[in-house]
Amino acid sequence: MTFSEHDHVLVTGCAGFIGMHVVERLCGNGVRVTGIDNFDPYYSVALKDARVARLTALPRFSLRRLDLADAEAARELFRDGGFTQVVHLAAQPGVRYSLEHPETYLRNNVTAFGHVLEGCRHHGVRHLVYASSSSVYGANHTLPFSEDQPTDHPVSLYAATKKANELMAHSYSHLFKLPTTGLRFFTVYGPWGRPDMSPMLFADAILAGRPIKVFNHGKMRRDYTFIDDIVEGIVRVAGRLPDADPVTGAPYAIYNIGGNSAVALETFIDTLSRALGKEVIRDYQPMQPGDVVATYADVSRLEKVTGFVPQTPLEEGVKRFVEWYVAWRETQ
């Protein structure tokens, strides 16, 4: 199954970092897209507005401001939408924020996802693709992370809500034969990224001559994944129905999407410093609650099914991020 001009795709969280790029890609392929977002002020609404301003000029795109945790609003959306596929990217992000605002994660990541599942079930959606996270691997220390590894020990509430999404999706795939595919994203970065994530936090501090906070005294590794690779993976997966789960026979799948390497945090900082042309002042800090020391994606399952492996080199990805960020910063 591939997308056609007759498809109508719902992209939730369209004002978000990944959502904006997915909408641009789908519309560029001639697909009709409805995007929804509640423009939550967790981070700069001005940035979200700027992303959406890019989207509203696209042919075959329409925007709705809507809160998926509102049951009646979600029912109306699906009743009237006529969606053929759903790419569900709306969620409350951030590991550390979940330590202080747990109710936000339960509302936006669990309740809202339940409403999406119900909408897909009752209104003929052919395929639901949703964002999970590498954080579900939690206390697992076997690298690289494989989808076959257990994910029973989340170390943050954010991770637990993403694991809950995977379990909820499987139950709907099993009970109602709703095809669902979960995507475990690994440290996504690039133009139009989130201001609460390290690339933008670091870049802002470096350009301002402020120290950057380097947690776990720099002894961290992350599988940095450029946004274009994430979008390519999403679109390829969304255009293909999942195979039957080998245990239950449900039309259900889970895939890692990562850069397929574990990059030392110090290496990422040095790469960013070179791209910015500025020295870095490091403020080494202890490990933060809810964090993990390393992430590293095994993407062999994704490659087998889609023929795609994320491949943007870190140097190129950071360069493209910096070009965007420097220009964006000058407008603020």
The CATH number for 114's domain is 3.40.50.720
pLDDT of amino acid 82: 96
Cα separations in angstroms, 243 against 87, 140, 252, 265: 18, 26, 7, 37
In a domain, 207, yes or no: no
35 contacts: CB under 8 Å, gap ≥ 6: 10, 11, 12, 14, 15, 19, 23, 52, 55, 61, 62, 63, 64
Output the furthest CA–CA distance in the chain (Å, rounded): 56
Is 94 a residue whose pLDDT tops 90? no
Q: What is the pLDDT of residues 164-193, one digit of tens each?
A: 999 999 999 999 999 999 999 999 999 999
Total domains present in the chain:
1
In a domain, 324, yes or no: no
What number is the average pLDDT over the span 75-79? Answer: 98
Q: Tell me the one-letter amino acid at 79.
A: R
**Percent of the chain scoring above 90 in pLDDT:** 92
In a domain, 322, yes or no: no
pTM metric for this prediction: 0.97
With beta carbons less than 8 A apart as the criterion, state whether 257 and 225 touch.
yes
In a domain, 265, yes or no: no
With beta carbons less than 8 A apart as the criterion, state whether 37 and 15 touch.
yes
Alpha helices in 195-261 (DSSP H): 198-208, 227-238
Annotated catalytic residues are 158
d(CA 109, CA 98): 11
pLDDT of amino acid 1: 54
Closest CA to 257 of 220, 293, 239, 232: 232
Q: Is the peptide bond before 310 cis (omega within 30 degrees of 0)?
A: no
Q: Tell me the one-letter amino acid at 157.
A: L
Q: What is the pLDDT of residues 261-288, one digit of tens each?
A: 999 999 999 999 999 999 999 999 999 8
Q: 34 φ, ψ to 5°?
A: -110, 130
Q: Which helix (H) or strand (E) holds 327?
A: helix 314-330
239 contacts: CB under 8 Å, gap ≥ 6: 1, 2, 3
Task: For residue 4, name the pLDDT band (cuts at 50, 70, 90).
Answer: confident
Q: 231 φ, ψ to 5°?
A: -65, -45
d(CA 16, CA 35): 11
DSSP for residue 217: G
In a domain, 320, yes or no: no
Q: Which helix (H) or strand (E) holds 77?
A: helix 71-81
In a domain, 86, yes or no: yes
In a domain, 52, yes or no: yes
What number is the average pLDDT over the span 80-101? Answer: 94
Task: For residue 141, name the pLDDT band (cuts at 50, 70, 90).
Answer: confident
Helix (H, G, I), strand (E, B) or coil at 46: helix
- State which residues form the domain around 303: 8-188+226-259+296-311
